[in-house]
Chains A and B, each alone.
Chain A
Amino acid sequence: MITRKRLAAGACGALLAALAAGLLPSPALADDGDSAEGAPKESPKVELVLDVSGSMRARDIDGQSRMAAAKQAFNEVLDATPEEVRLGIRTLGANYAGEDKKKGCEDTRQLYPVGKLDRTEAKTAVATLAPTGFTPVGPALLGAAKDLEGGNATRRIVLITDGEDTCGPLDPCVVAREIAAKGTHLVIDTLGLVPNAKIRQQLTCIAEATGGTYTAVQHKEQLSKRVKQLVDRAADPVVNPVATKGGASCQAAPKLTAGLYTDRAKFGEHRWYQVQVKPGQELRAAVSIGADRAVNNDYGILVRAFTLSGREIVRGQESGDGRTDVISSGLRYPKSDVDAEKGQEPPAETVCLQVSSSFSAPPSVKTEPGMPVELALDLVDSPKKAADVASFGLGHGWWLLGVLVLVGLLAGLVFGWLSRWRVAVWRTN
């Protein structure tokens, strides 16, 4: 009897040990370890656009003239530019000293071509600059965009100016939006040297239109630090999305596979895309729409997945208010596996993705070109569905233990009495 009980206890212990050993956390299901950050295919291009207009003579940055501060900042930036960055310099208002506005407003020139940086040469070129003419920001941006043309490198323009573009009729903000709409992934960062409402408005508008930033410069160190930071940012490897054009209906929609896409959608416009989802696959879609211009305070986004027959499968939505760069949402659609006949691949389902936003803008804001849409699609294997609320239907907590102990005790008593009764019956017989 004693030996048997000890055996039973031993078996329990062994069982527990086996359970514990077999169920220890199993590592890693998706980490392949090689998250290699390959260098971009082409080295990034940056163009610094410097205002050399007459007003740069003003001595209001740490007691120095704006021009001197800019020159010093440029020297520091040129020293710190990463090797792989191809850097160019363009000036505006550097050459024409006359009074003719028409001529002055065409005055923009490439001072140093975009390419492998020769620090000494670039510095010498910058040293020759003297504050001279007008402030044609629009033409300078167009020129800079042209300088950076070609290839699929990361592009960035850093605009440093102390005055608004008074040249007209070319609004630099419209120019910036047109440059962005070309889909060349060009970002314009702006730095204003004067805290003036008009300049700030113009520069924030340019930055907003291209997904760039605006900085109000007050000190020399701030200027060089910021420009250095922006040039370094250009050197970061980044995945550029592929341009696509969504259809007006599901039938007219482009067929997309997993990847990163970009599109333009006007206010109130619906965009459709088609994705093929095989049984046993899960579709993951993330969409963001950028607010690249002044928009009304309240906005939202709706992403829906439809079947070809027009039944809604799942939706993702989000809304917000206040300043924003993007509004985004996403959805998941796991398609359950089906048993296919032998040798036959089960047909893929065509899922239609509809993207719409409730952005609106005051009448003064241009609606062309549309707002930038970014679409990230992933296709993975379907998840293992939950069969129970709890993990594997297992229990947890003191109530569970109490119930188990109580039931175990009762069962033991019942079996004990039963066997005693049986022994007693056997004995009497």
Chain B
Amino acid sequence: MRTTRVVSGALLAALAVLGAAPAAGADETPSPSPSAGESAAPTEAGTSFRTATAVKSGQLATAGASTGDYLYWVFPADAGQDATVRAKVALPESAQRHGAQTWQLDVYDGLRRKQACTYGSSTATAPKEATSVSLACHLRTVRSWAEQSSNDPLPGSYFVRLTVTSLADDDLGLPVKAEVQPAVVDAGGSKAVDGALTAPLVPGATTVQDDAKGEPRQISVQASPEGGWASGTWSSRWLWTAGGAVLAALAGVAGYAMTRGSGRPARVPQGY
């Protein structure tokens, strides 16, 4: 009797651990850190890969610009994360415009390779009477390692470029307001792959820098995740596997106990 109680108690405890594991892994809420408040959000955008403005996950970066400007931001994404970039452009008054405008949101990785959007409209055409245009791009899950010949997303900087790609020539140079918000969430242990980069794809991170001379660093280096880059060794797969091992052991014990039956064996004579 006591045996069964111990076994079932341990089983319940193991299940409780396991129940917590997938919940932690599949945490879908965006993680805008409390310290990175709205006040710190950038209000200017860069104009090239080199001058891209660093923005953190969850921050709403805004910028005033002229139609036709190429606006650049950069944000960090780590292994096992899903990144979604949303952008909204407040267009000039429709009375001033001469036709429809097509806006485009491009996301590039740290090697300036264009990244595919798995969903979200990264290109949108605003008719003449529209007041704003919204764009979105959801990236593939960032992997901790990839073949050299693939351009799978890897941990590192991600550049966002926002621009108008086709418009009536007369509309060039009119003022617009743009806002961009990257959101990075954990993709969960099911997306955890093997292998690891020794350094994230952050341009200029390894360039020999003479700080004594006061040479500026590339801005992308400033865009690192809060708490630093993860090494990619932790995933909820550890919990699943360890939990499975415990359950298997308990099941083994239970199976063993079953063959014993309850109470004393029938064939054991009285007096033993």
Contacts and interface: CB of A to CB of B under 8 A. Distances in A.
Interface of A: 1-2, 5-6, 8-9, 12-13, 15-16, 19-20, 23-31, 35-41, 192, 195, 197, 200-201, 203-204, 211, 213-216, 218, 222, 225-226, 229, 232-233, 236-239, 241, 258-260, 282, 284-288, 314, 316, 318, 322-326, 328-334, 374, 376, 378-397, 400-401, 404-417, 419-420, 424, 427
Given A27-B231, A29-B231, 13 more contacts: A23-B238, A29-B199, A30-B200, A39-B214, A218-B96, A258-B208, A286-B113, A318-B114, A329-B113, A374-B49, A396-B190, A405-B248, A411-B255
A389 to B, nearest CB: 6
11 contacts: A5-B3, A24-B234, A29-B230, A211-B48, A214-B66, A215-B66, A282-B198, A286-B113, A287-B112, A384-B197, A389-B193
Nearest to A376: B203
A331 B148 CA distance: 8
Contact of A382 (B14, B173, B198, B205): B198
B233 interface: yes
Given A35-B224, A213-B69, A325-B48, A197 B169 contact: yes
Interface string B43-87: 010011111000000000000111011100000000000000000
A408 B13 contact: no
B128 interface: no
Nearest to B17: A16
B6 A5 contact: yes
Interface residues of B, number: 111
A384 B44 contact: no
Contacts, number: 359
B205 A30 contact: yes
Contact of A239 (B164, B217, B238, B257): B217
Nearest to B149: A314
B215 A29 contact: no
Give 10 nearest A-B pairs by CB, closest first: A412-B255, A416-B259, A330-B111, A28-B228, A386-B195, A216-B173, A408-B248, A237-B216, A408-B251, A31-B228
B259 A284 contact: no
Contact of A394 (B164, B228, B241, B259): B241
Given A213-B68, A258-B207, A412-B254, A12 B249 contact: yes
Nearest to A319: B114
A397 B166 CA distance: 47
Contacts of A29: 198-199, 228-231
Contacts of A324: 163, 165
B203 A213 contact: no
Contacts of A232: 44
Among B104, B213, B231, the most chain A Cβ lie within 10 Å of the Cβ of B231
A266 B15 CA distance: 66
Given A38-B214, A216-B173, A401 B252 contact: no
Nearest to A401: B244
Contacts of B230: 25, 27-29
Contacts of A19: 238, 242
